[in-house]
Amino acid sequence: MTSQPRDAPQFYLTSPSTCPYLPDREERKVFTHIVGRRSRELNEILTQGGFRRSQTIAYRPACDACRACVSVRVLTDEFEPSGNLKRVLKANNDLIGVAISNRPSSEQYSLFRRYLDARHTDGGMADMTVLDYSMMIEDSHVDTQVIEYRRRGIDSGITGKGAGDLIAMCLTDVMSDGLSMVYSFYEPDMHDRSLGTFMILDHIRRARTMGLPYLYLGYWVEGSKKMAYKARFKPQERLLAQGWVRTD
């Protein structure tokens, strides 16, 4: 009797469901499990091929008649913020991000719940419990960090840490060629800060400092307002039928 090796990925296709990005369309996804000794290598190969990670699952759209979802990665060395993006950086100059191990906390979950209740009450994550959240953060077989953002304290220059309440957070995978922003959330009442944009800008800086050429942002969907912001960070590469294509 033979069995499939644990390190050899098997791919599965979901049934059609309502598309969360474009009206009157259905989506399907192909997915596999990221487990075993080769999980980090497999995650990198799949990410470079347009997959996204959620816990121990890597997935990508596999819709029958639509190719609107396009993987995007920012060229970190060449990126220069526009005037508007510079204003976002200035508005958040009092914040400092600290990378910690991917361990959940009650403070994180409280912020996560405020964010969902204010911004995504009808989304697929709206009913996530503390246990669900813990699994989202901890259940990873790859190099994963949590970046917590707090206000700078009087000792931040010495300790390298922020002070005060948690304002924003990002779950981030570290790969050999870049950082991948898996999921981020922030204080929903701080509209003027554009915290989602700020975290992207900070991750571009982090990747550049680490000598990593790319920041993976997931899918840009033409015609979707909720995904339109990803087109602001250029130069970037988009994964098309012919491979990664530069867009300025």
Q: Which CATH number characterizes residue 97's domain?
A: 3.40.630.30
Asked if residue 125 and residue 55 are part of one domain, the reply reads no
- What pLDDT, on a 0 to 100 scale, did the predictor assign at position 121? 67
Q: Is the pLDDT of residue 5 over 60?
A: no
**Which DSSP helix (H) or strand (E) runs through 159?**
helix 156-159
Same domain as 202, residue 149: yes
What is the per-residue pLDDT for 58?
96
Is the predicted pLDDT of residue 96 greater than 70, yes or no? yes
pTM of the predicted protein model: 0.92
3-state DSSP of 9-48: CCCEECCCEECCCCCCCEECEEEEECCCCCHHHHHHHHHH
* Inside any domain, residue 108: yes
Q: Could you tell me the residue range of the domain that residue 208 belongs to? A: 73-247
- Count of domains in the chain? 2
Structure token digits, residue 150: 């707090």
Average pLDDT over residues 8-20: 91
Beta bridge partners of 244: 239
Tokens of 175: 């790969």
Confidence at residue 223, expressed as pLDDT on a 0 to 100 scale: 87
Same domain, 77 and 125: yes
With a pLDDT cut of 90, the percent of the chain lying above it is 81
Beta bridge partners of 144: 173
Local structure of residue 193 (DSSP, 8 states): G
Q: For residues 149 and 38, state if they share a domain.
A: no
Other C-beta atoms within 10 Å of 177: how many? Answer: 14
Tell me: do 61 and 143 sit in the same domain: no
The tokens for 147 are: 């970046």
- The predicted structure's pLDDT at residue 8: 74
Q: What is the pLDDT of residue 3?
A: 46
pLDDT of residue 127: 82
Mean pLDDT of all residues belonging to the chain: 92
Give the residue from 27, 47, 69 where a domain finishes: 69
Tell me, yes or no, whether 3 lies in a domain.
no
For residue 7, tell me if it sits in a domain: no
Query: Stretch 186-199: mean pLDDT, rounded?
Result: 96
DSSP category for residue 227? G
* Domain-ending residue, one of 48, 69, 90: 69
CB 204 within 8 A of CB 216: no
> Which secondary-structure segment (H or E) carries 138?
helix 130-138
Close Cβ partners of 237 (under 8 Å, ≥ 6 residues apart): 72, 73, 75, 214, 244, 245, 246, 247
pLDDT digits (tens, 9 = 90+) for 120-155: 767 678 788 999 999 999 999 999 999 999 999 898
Paired tokens of 243: 């491979």
Residue 148 belongs to a domain? yes
Do 131 and 44 have their domain in common? no
Statement to judge: residues 92 and 43 lie in one domain? no
